[in-house]
A = this chain, B = another copy of it.
Amino acid sequence: MKAKTADDCCPPANDEPDLRPAEGREADEELATLAKALGHPARVQIVRLLVRKTACVCGDIVDELPLAQSTVSQHLKVLKEAGLIRGEVDGPRVCYCIEPRALRRLKVLVAGV
């Protein structure tokens, strides 16, 4: 069995520029989706946590938040569905990390408002 490392789940900093437009109806919906995902303090905290640790943290995210495990799991799901984070199964635990592309996209969209 191969040992899993951060590289197994954290994308290696894709530097390709994003060609999608920064405005228009589609950009509006994209921005709304991403902003909505960030629209809760717990999720902001989670994203920050995952950004800080350049390697990906696992479910000890739960220990960092004053919320029940199931609630944290739900927030992680919201972030994942918005494309902001990714979760990779690693044995009995799950390794989460940010999706740098999506975060960058969010920054571009917000900056472009």
Chain A interface (Cβ < 8 Å from any Cβ of B): 23, 25, 28-29, 31-33, 35-41, 43-45, 47-48, 51, 103, 106-107, 110-111, 113
| A32 engages B28 (CB within 8 Å) | no
Give this chain's copy count.
2
Interface of A is mostly: helix
Which among B23, B32, B38, B40 is the interface contact of A41 at CB below 8 angstroms? B32
| Least distance between A45 CB and chain B CB atoms (Å) | 5
Q: Could you show 26 A-B contacts with beta carbons less than 8 Å apart? A: A23-B48, A25-B41, A28-B41, A28-B44, A28-B45, A31-B44, A32-B38, A32-B40, A32-B41, A35-B35, A35-B36, A35-B39, A36-B38, A36-B39, A38-B39, A38-B110, A39-B39, A44-B113, A48-B113, A103-B113, A106-B110, A107-B110, A107-B111, A107-B113, A110-B110, A111-B111
